[in-house]
Amino acid sequence: MSKLSAVKPAYWIAGVLLALSIVVPLLVSTYAKDEPRLWGFPFFYWYQLLWVFISAATVSICYRLVMGVERKRRAAQGLDGAAGKEGDL
């Protein structure tokens, strides 16, 4: 069995979302224009600022996806957080 087949779909989805959040703002042809304006700001400025918020939301979604898979994996292996906290006392 290859290592690639062991990767969960949540990791693929998270990777694609993060890649889009990085690549799309780098495509200059998508925002190299002045119109339409939003509250007097040229398209260039508010489009880039919009991607800051979109990227923050995307990172949050990816974090939740990956952490959900990790919690399930750790619970299946008996590595839940409660056992580690009791051992620290």
pLDDT attached to residue 6: 63
> Quick count: other Cβ atoms within 10 Å of Cβ 1?
5
Q: CB-based contacts of 69: which residues, under 8 Å, 6+ apart? A: 8, 10, 11
Does residue 87 lie in a domain region?
A: no
Q: Which domain holds residue 69?
A: 10-78
Task: Read off φ and ψ for residue 31, nearest 5 degrees.
Answer: -130, 10
Does residue 89 lie in a domain region?
A: no
pTM to 2 decimals? 0.70
Per-residue pLDDT reduced to its tens digit, 13-48: 888 999 999 998 888 888 777 788 788 888 888 888
Does residue 45 lie in a domain region?
A: yes
How many domains is the chain partitioned into structurally?
1
Per-residue pLDDT reduced to its tens digit, 32-89: 777 887 888 888 888 888 899 999 999 999 999 888 888 887 887 777 765 545 444 4
The residue type of 76 is A
Does residue 23 lie in a domain region?
A: yes
